[in-house]
């Protein structure tokens, strides 16, 4: 019997209403681990090229990470994979909470959905039995309402992944919701689920995930918890006072000086546990990290510190009713909130995240924290990606400013910078595809194409996916990540920006090249290295924040769960294999690197005339070439080299991209060998 994983996936054909259980060889896990590593392998091998992302041939896969469900600290994540309707290439989204571990305890390492239901449908999975149910009465409900109803029907301990009205309406910026407002948000995965008329998946597990080496598992857990040890009460009390008072005072000058200081682990743990990701938003606006006014403004001039501090630090905690953590998480960075203001009524919701206060706040010149919290909550209810939604709203504001959108299209609402009522109204329009929302619901690229008149110049995206709110003019390697990853426009995809920000804690011993912040040449090997390590983190199901609080013993964690003795080189090879296959997926779909570009204003063309990033122009072309060279990918075609594909054991990809090649296939690993 497998240890650390279940060894099986479940295929569900919605058209034929058929279910097939597939047993996978152990070798696949040693080569791809789990999560979207396993998803990349299965989708590349099983989905025909050219599939319509919103058609029945697209595969929508739900994959817990390799360690998800084992109780390993920080291991509560799962990935959703598909062909993205937003970019036309590889699509994935990642989420925490409790759905991923519950799916794993149902006995499967993945649930893959094909076809399309004849009517709105939801699935239940319990004790090895998958059943189809009508979702006619759920269709139209927002995501938390649908989840609550399914828990009422099947049990409070069931876990649910569902879409809201945005996914039902096939908005290409919609996501999949679990835990009453946690989103697998990016790549348009909600639209794929909606196109299949699949409202929800509800599951209840009963199987433990067996561990191969209990002593190694205990040792790895202790190693993590030693870095998370609670402070003595008097020390914590002093730190509370310092961190509540000093950052708001120091943020302005730290930001303006553009300092990237490696913050001690206890301080990060305190900040995340008390204020979550929005902490120090004010410093980010001052440093130039947070984009302002659809990426053309300057924080200290257009959204100065006195405004920014209204949506940063302790301001975001005033509506807290309690803290929570994802499954197996020792950090507890989430908070539940309630707002009783009649204008911003939220009876039960999630505290804002950085991307919410940056996108719905600073980038729109809105400093009303209640309105931002309410906008964040609406996105969670409707099932909208808050990053893309905020970017679309900023695009619409600029279109209105330039006369490209009129009040006839907005129902009489003026879209004026700083007007929170306009922001909230647009979110409603987008989710319901009403008025101008019908155009905006598919993201800025398609909206700009529909509006025309030069709107493309201020549609902020890469490959069709809206950019998150971290500016490459401040941290240049974000540009490389946004442009070159198979899922473009993602700040969590890994890259040399982690080295530029000085917060990296690599989970296994490797030599890390040094990079200069504004030296654009020579960063390729560092960027490739950081990308490979990120693939391992995603595939094993560990949280993005886990590498901010210390150094996690990945090798010991995997040994405890699966019994494998993997070296650092083994792990880097696995990361390389996953990333290369994701690139190969895009290459097979006809996507070339030149097809994706970053907007000029994101790169400082022309450069800003004020602020900490004044005069900066980012040479992303040099950095991208360096990355592709380090990854052995042709920068013109996007094809990984056939020799590399064969060396990594990606023979299916080699045969697809290089039909008839005479390069011999790589030797298959024998039983017991590692990648």
Tens of pLDDT, residues 609-634: 999 999 999 999 999 999 999 999 99
Looking at residue 669, its pLDDT comes to 43
Going 157 to 193 to 37 to 182, the CA torsion angle's sign is negative
Last residue of a domain, one of 466, 490, 514: 466
Cis amide bond preceding 606, omega within 30: yes
Question: Which residues, other chains included, contact 203 with Cβ-Cβ below 8 Å and sequence gap of 6+?
Answer: 99, 102, 103, 106, 124, 125, 126, 158, 159, 160
Residue 73 in any domain: the answer is: yes
Confidence of residue 668 (pLDDT cuts 50, 70, 90): very low
Q: How far apart are CA 230 and CA 143, in angstroms?
A: 36
In this structure, what token pair is assigned to residue 189?
């995965």
Q: How far apart are CA 464 and CA 413, in angstroms?
A: 27
Q: In which domain, by residue range, is 20 found?
A: 8-204
Clarify whether residues 17 and 155 are in a common domain: yes
Q: How far apart are CA 659 and CA 504, in angstroms?
A: 40
What pTM did the predictor assign? 0.95
Residue 625 in any domain: the answer is: yes
Pairing status of strand 182-184 against strand 176-178: antiparallel
Count CB atoms within 10 A of the CB of residue 459. Answer: 23
Confidence of residue 251 (pLDDT cuts 50, 70, 90): low
Confidence of residue 672 (pLDDT cuts 50, 70, 90): very low
Clarify whether residues 287 and 435 are in a common domain: yes
Residue 369 belongs to a domain with what CATH number? Answer: 1.10.569.10
In this structure, what token pair is assigned to residue 554?
């990945």
The separation between CA 442 and the C-alpha centre of its own chain, rounded to angstroms, equals 18
Residue 53 in any domain: the answer is: yes
Question: Which residues, other chains included, contact 77 with Cβ-Cβ below 8 Å and sequence gap of 6+?
Answer: 35, 64, 65, 68, 94, 95, 96, 100, 326, 538, 541, 542, 543
Mean pLDDT of all residues in 179-184 = 97
Mean pLDDT of all residues in 237-261 = 55
Mean pLDDT of all residues in 228-242 = 57
Question: Which residues, other chains included, contact 454 with Cβ-Cβ below 8 Å and sequence gap of 6+?
Answer: none
Tens of pLDDT, residues 52-86: 999 999 999 999 999 999 999 999 999 999 999 99
Residue 647 in any domain: the answer is: no
Looking at residue 389, its pLDDT comes to 98
| Separation in Å, CA 384 to CA 278, 339, 377, 429, 480 | 19, 21, 10, 12, 26
Q: Provide the residue count of the chain.
A: 675
Residue 169 in any domain: the answer is: yes
Clarify whether residues 79 and 108 are in a common domain: yes
Confidence of residue 500 (pLDDT cuts 50, 70, 90): confident
Confidence of residue 123 (pLDDT cuts 50, 70, 90): very high
Backbone φ, ψ for residue 398 (5° rounding): -70, -40
Last residue of a domain, one of 182, 204, 226: 204
Clarify whether residues 487 and 618 are in a common domain: yes
Number of domains, the chain: 3
Clarify whether residues 111 and 166 are in a common domain: yes
Residue 666 in any domain: the answer is: no
- Strand pairing partners for 82? 91
Mean pLDDT of all residues in 456-479 = 97
Question: Which residues, other chains included, contact 234 with Cβ-Cβ below 8 Å and sequence gap of 6+?
Answer: none
Clarify whether residues 446 and 491 are in a common domain: no
Long-range contacts for 409-417 (Cβ within 8 Å, ≥24 apart)?
A: 409/435, 409/436, 410/435, 410/436, 411/435, 417/293, 417/364, 417/365
Clarify whether residues 483 and 440 are in a common domain: no
- Strand pairing partners for 79? 63, 94
Contact criterion met (CB below 8 Å) for 313 and 284: no
Clarify whether residues 429 and 487 are in a common domain: no
- Greater confidence (663 vs 321) lies with 321
Confidence of residue 671 (pLDDT cuts 50, 70, 90): very low
Tens of pLDDT, residues 574-616: 999 999 999 999 999 999 999 999 999 999 999 999 999 999 9
| Mean pLDDT, the chain, whole residue set | 92
Clarify whether residues 495 and 459 are in a common domain: no
Confidence of residue 283 (pLDDT cuts 50, 70, 90): confident
Q: How far apart are CA 273 and CA 98, in angstroms?
A: 19
Confidence of residue 512 (pLDDT cuts 50, 70, 90): confident
Q: What angle do CA 464, 611, 373 make, to 5 degrees?
A: 55
User: For the chain, how far is it from start to end, CA to CA, in angstroms?
Assistant: 20
In this structure, what token pair is assigned to residue 340?
């009783």
Q: How far apart are CA 35 and CA 93, in angstroms?
A: 11
Among the listed residues 554, 542, 674, 572, the one whose alpha carbon sits nearest the alpha carbon of residue 216 = 554
Clarify whether residues 576 and 619 are in a common domain: yes
Backbone φ, ψ for residue 616 (5° rounding): -85, 130
**How much of the chain is helix, strand and coil, in % rounded to 5?**
45, 15, 45
Residue 74 in any domain: the answer is: yes
Task: Determine whether 50 is exposed, middle or buried from the number of CB atoms within 10 Å of its CB (0-12, 13-18, 19+).
Answer: exposed
Q: How far apart are CA 428 and CA 420, in angstroms?
A: 13
Residue 240 in any domain: the answer is: no
Looking at residue 257, its pLDDT comes to 62
Among the listed residues 528, 520, 477, 481, the one whose alpha carbon sits nearest the alpha carbon of residue 499 = 477
Q: How far apart are CA 60 and CA 112, in angstroms?
A: 6
Count CB atoms within 10 A of the CB of residue 643. Answer: 13
Report the percentage of the chain scoring pLDDT > 70.
92
Mean pLDDT of all residues in 206-220 = 95
- Strand pairing partners for 510? none
Looking at residue 444, its pLDDT comes to 98
Last residue of a domain, one of 419, 441, 466: 466
- Strand pairing partners for 350? 336
The separation between CA 10 and the C-alpha centre of its own chain, rounded to angstroms, equals 24
Residue 113 belongs to a domain with what CATH number? Answer: 3.60.9.10
Residue 481 belongs to a domain with what CATH number? Answer: 1.10.599.10
Tens of pLDDT, residues 383-404: 999 999 999 999 999 999 999 9
Tens of pLDDT, residues 344-385: 999 999 999 999 999 999 999 999 999 999 999 999 999 999
Mean pLDDT of all residues in 34-54 = 97
Clarify whether residues 162 and 284 are in a common domain: no
Clarify whether residues 455 and 512 are in a common domain: no
pLDDT at 96 over 90: yes
């Amino acid at each position: 019997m497998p240890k650390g994983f279940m060894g099986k996936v479940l295929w569900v054909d919605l058209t034929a209403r058929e279910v097939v259980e597939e047993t996978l060889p152990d070798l696949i896990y040693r080569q791809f681990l789990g999560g979207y590593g396993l998803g990349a392998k299965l989708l590349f091998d099983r989905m025909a090229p050219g599939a319509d992302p919103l058609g029945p041939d697209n595969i929508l896969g739900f994959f817990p990470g390799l360690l998800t469900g084992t109780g390993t600290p920080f291991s509560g994540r799962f990935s959703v994979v598909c062909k993205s309707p937003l970019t036309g290439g590889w699509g994935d989204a990642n989420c925490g909470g409790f759905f991923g571990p519950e799916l794993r305890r149902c006995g499967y390492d993945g649930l893959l959905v094909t076809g399309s239901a004849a009517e709105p449908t939801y699935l239940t999975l319990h004790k090895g039995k998958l059943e189809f149910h009508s979702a006619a009465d759920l269709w139209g409900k927002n995501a938390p309402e649908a989840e609550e109803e399914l828990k009422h029907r099947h049990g409070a301990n069931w876990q649910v992944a569902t879409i809201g009205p945005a996914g039902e309406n096939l908005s290409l910026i919609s996501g999949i919701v679990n835990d009453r407002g946690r989103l697998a948000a990016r790549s348009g995965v909600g639209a794929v689920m909606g196109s299949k008329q699949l409202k929800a998946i509800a599951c209840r597990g009963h199987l433990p995930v067996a561990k191969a080496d209990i002593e190694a598992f205990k040792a790895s857990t202790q190693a993590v918890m030693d870095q998370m040890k609670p402070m003595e009460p008097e020390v914590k009390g002093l730190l509370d006072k310092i961190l509540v008072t000093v950052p708001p005072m120091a943020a302005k000058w730290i930001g303006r000086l553009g300092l990237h200081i490696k913050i001690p682990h206890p301080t990060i743990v305190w900040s995340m546990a008390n204020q979550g990701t929005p902490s120090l938003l004010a410093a980010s606006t001052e440093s130039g990290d947070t984009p302002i006014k659809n990426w053309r403004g300057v924080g200290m001039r257009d959204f100065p510190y006195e405004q920014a501090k209204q949506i940063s630090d302790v301001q975001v905690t005033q509506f807290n009713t309690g803290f929570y953590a994802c499954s197996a998480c020792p950090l507890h960075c989430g908070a539940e909130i309630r707002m009783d203001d009649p204008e911003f009524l939220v009876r039960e919701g999630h505290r804002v995240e950085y991307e919410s206060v940056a996108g719905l706040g600073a980038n729109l010149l809105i400093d009303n924290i209640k309105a931002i919290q309410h906008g964040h909550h609406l996105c969670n209810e409707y099932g909208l990606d808050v990053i893309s939604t905020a970017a679309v709203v900023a695009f619409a504001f600029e279109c209105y400013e330039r006369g490209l959108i009129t009040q006839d299209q907005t129902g009489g609402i003026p879209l004026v910078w700083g007007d929170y009522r306009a922001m909230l109204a647009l979110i409603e329009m987008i989710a319901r595809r009403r008025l101008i929302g019908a155009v905006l619901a598919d993201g800025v690229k398609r909206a700009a194409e529909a509006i025309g008149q030069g709107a493309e110049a201020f549609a902020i995206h890469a490959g069709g996916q809206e950019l998150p709110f971290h500016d490459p003019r401040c941290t240049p390697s974000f540009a490389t990540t946004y442009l070159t990853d198979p899922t473009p426009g993602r700040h969590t995809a890994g890259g040399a920006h982690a080295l530029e920000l000085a917060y990296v804690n690599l989970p296994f011993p490797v030599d890390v090249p040094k990079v200069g912040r504004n030296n654009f040449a020579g960063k390729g090997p560092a960027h490739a290295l950081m990308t490979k390590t990120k693939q391992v983190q995603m595939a094993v199901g560990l949280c993005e924040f886990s590498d901010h609080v210390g150094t996690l013993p990945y090798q010991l964690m995997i040994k405890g769960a699966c019994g494998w003795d993997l070296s650092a080189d083994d792990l880097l090879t696995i990361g390389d294999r996953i990333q290369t296959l994701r690139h190969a997926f895009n290459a097979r779909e006809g996507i070339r690197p030149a097809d994706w570009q970053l907007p000029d204003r994101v790169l400082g063309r022309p450069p800003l005339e004020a602020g900490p990033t004044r005069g900066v122009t980012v040479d992303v072309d040099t950095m991208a070439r360096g990355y592709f060279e380090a990854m052995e990918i042709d920068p013109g075609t996007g094809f990984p080299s056939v020799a590399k594909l064969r060396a990594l054991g990606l023979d299916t990809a080699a045969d697809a991209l290089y039909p008839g090649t005479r390069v011999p296939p790589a030797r298959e690993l024998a039983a017991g060998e590692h990648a």
